[in-house]
Amino acid sequence: MAISPVRTTSNQGFSIETIVRTLRSVLDSQQVPHTLHQPRFAGREREYLVDCIDTGWVSSVGAYVDRFEQELAEFTGSKRVVAVVNGTAALQIALKLSGVQPGDEVLIPALTFVATANAVAYLGAFPHFVDSSQQTLGIDSGRLVEYLDEIAETSSCGCINRVTGRPIRAVVPMHTFGHPVDMDPLLEVASRWKIEVVEDAAEGLGSYYKGRHVGTLGRIGVLSFNGNKIITTGGGGALLFQNEEEGRVAKHITTTARQPHPWRYFHDQVGYNFRMPNLNAALGCAQLEQLPKFIVAKRLLHECYRVAFASVPGVQLIAEPPLTQSNYWLNALLLDEEFATQRDALLDATIKDGIMTRPVWTLMSRLPMYENCPRMELPVAESLEKRIVNIPSSASEK
pLDDT tens string 279-310 = 999 999 999 999 999 999 999 999 999 999 99
Please state the domain count of the chain: 2
Same domain as 278, residue 299: no
Average pLDDT over residues 80-107: 98
Residue 303: give the domain boundaries: 16-40+290-362+388-397
d(CA 68, CA 284): 7
Average pLDDT over residues 268-273: 96
Q: Is residue 281 part of a domain?
A: yes
Contact 209, 183 (CB under 8 A): yes
Average pLDDT over residues 33-56: 95
pLDDT value for 233: 97
Contact 165, 100 (CB under 8 A): no
Q: Is 254 helix (H, G, I), strand (E, B) or coil?
A: helix
Same domain as 53, residue 28: no
pLDDT value for 12: 60
Q: Is residue 295 part of a domain?
A: yes
105-109/220-224 β-pairing: unpaired
CATH number, domain containing residue 21: 3.90.1150.10
pLDDT value for 10: 40
Average pLDDT over residues 227-234: 96
Same domain as 98, residue 224: yes
Q: Is residue 9 over pLDDT 60?
A: no
d(CA 55, CA 83): 21
Q: Please tell me whether the overall predicted TM-score, pTM, comes out greater than 0.75 for this model.
A: yes
Read off the pLDDT of residues 156-174 as tens digits, 9 standing for 90 and up.
889 999 999 999 999 999 9
Q: Which residue has the higher pLDDT, 3 or 395?
A: 395
Q: Is residue 10 part of a domain?
A: no
CATH number, domain containing residue 271: 3.40.640.10
pLDDT value for 30: 64
Same domain as 220, residue 165: yes
pLDDT value for 32: 75
Residue by residue, DSSP assigns 87-117 as HHHHHHHHHHHTT--TT-EEEEESSS-HHHH
Q: Is residue 21 part of a domain?
A: yes
What share of the chain in percent tops pLDDT 90?
Answer: 92
Same domain as 185, residue 59: yes
Least confident range from 7-11, 71-75, 178-182: namely 7-11
d(CA 377, CA 201): 24
pLDDT value for 123: 98
d(CA 168, CA 199): 16
Residue 365 sits at φ, ψ, to 5 deg, of -70, -10
Q: Is 25 helix (H, G, I), strand (E, B) or coil?
A: helix
Q: Is residue 371 part of a domain?
A: no
- Out of 257, 289, 321, a domain closes at 289
Contact 312, 3 (CB under 8 A): no
Read off the pLDDT of residues 315-359 as tens digits, 9 standing for 90 and up.
999 999 999 999 999 999 999 999 999 999 999 999 999 999 999
Same domain as 82, residue 57: yes
Q: CA torsion, points 276, 277, 279, 282, in degrees to nearest 10?
A: 40
Binning the chain into helix, strand and coil, the percentages to the nearest 5 are 40, 20, 40
Same domain as 295, residue 280: no
Same domain as 58, residue 89: yes
Same domain as 69, residue 52: yes
- pLDDT category at 397 given cuts 50, 70, 90 is confident
Same domain as 307, residue 284: no
Q: Is residue 311 part of a domain?
A: yes
pLDDT value for 81: 98
Average pLDDT over residues 195-201: 98
Same domain as 226, residue 89: yes
Contact 198, 206 (CB under 8 A): no
Q: Is residue 124 part of a domain?
A: yes
Same domain as 34, residue 82: no
- Out of 258, 289, 320, a domain closes at 289
Average pLDDT over residues 74-89: 98
- Out of 245, 262, 289, a domain closes at 289
